[in-house]
Structure 1
Amino acid sequence: MYDTSPCLVLTYAQDETVEVVEIGYSGGGGEEVYFDGVQLTFRFLDDVVADLAAKGHRYEPIDIGFRFEPGFAIFSMASLGAWDLDPAAADDDPRLVCEGVSVAPYDYFRTPTDEEIEAYIRSREGSA
C-alpha cells in the first residue's frame, strides 16, 4: 500500500511481478481516477457504467462491481453511502458509490469455476 492520493495498492504474484493495481477514491475534492475522459471514482457506480457503455466499453457484472474489456474493474465495498455524493439522498438510498478501480487483465476479474476453487483449496492444503 502506498500513501498517495488517491491511495494505491499493488499486489504481487509469487514471481514478484505486479498482479493487480488498485486505486481508491479520494473524495472531498481530491484526485480521482479517470478512463477515456470518464471520472470513475467517487461517482455513482451506475452512472460510471452508463458513461463507459456509451463510449462503447464492454462490461460484465462481478461480485462487487463491474469488469471492463480494457482490463479494469470498478467496485463498491458499500463503505460510502449515496448521501456522500447527494446530500438529499435518503438513508435507505440503494445507489452505490464507486470506491475504487482495479487494473489487471480482463480475465483476472472473472468468477472462478467450482473446479478452480476446489483445486485452489487442495493446493493450499498441500502446502500447509
Structure 2
Amino acid sequence: MYHFNDECTAIEEDGLQKNSKDVGTYMLLELAKLRDKFEIVGDVRGKGLMIGIEMVTDKESRRPLPSEEINEIWEDCKDMGVLIGRGGLYNQTFRVKPPMCITKRDVDFAVEVIHTALQKHTERAAAN
C-alpha cells in the first residue's frame, strides 16, 4: 500500500513552496511599483503567489473602476499573453495566481504587460 509520506512530492523536490514565497514576494514588490505609478491602481495585496490588484477611479475616493474600463485592461493583458482573473465585490480586482514554478523572468514579463495595459488605459482616458 502506498503512503503519501513515503516519497518526496514534486512540490518538495522542486522547492516550489520556497519558490512561491520568494518569487511571490518579488512579484508583489514589482506590482507595488505600478500602484505607485498609476492613480487607478488602488491597492496591491497578497501573500505568496496569490495577489490582488485593486482597480479604482482614483486613490482618494477608492470607487471601483467601471467594468468597461477594467474589461479593456483585462483584454489588453490577454492579447499580450498574460491571463489574470477577476474578483472583488464589484469585480474590480485583478487576481494574479500563477503556477508555483513561475520564475522572476516570468514575473518581469507579466508586470511589463500589466504596465503596458495600464499605460494604454491612461492614454485612452486622456484622449476622451
> What TM-score comes out, normalization by structure 1 length?
0.30
> What TM-score comes out, normalization by structure 2 length?
0.30
Question: Which protein is richer in strand relative to its size?
Answer: 1
Question: Which protein is richer in helix relative to its size?
Answer: 2
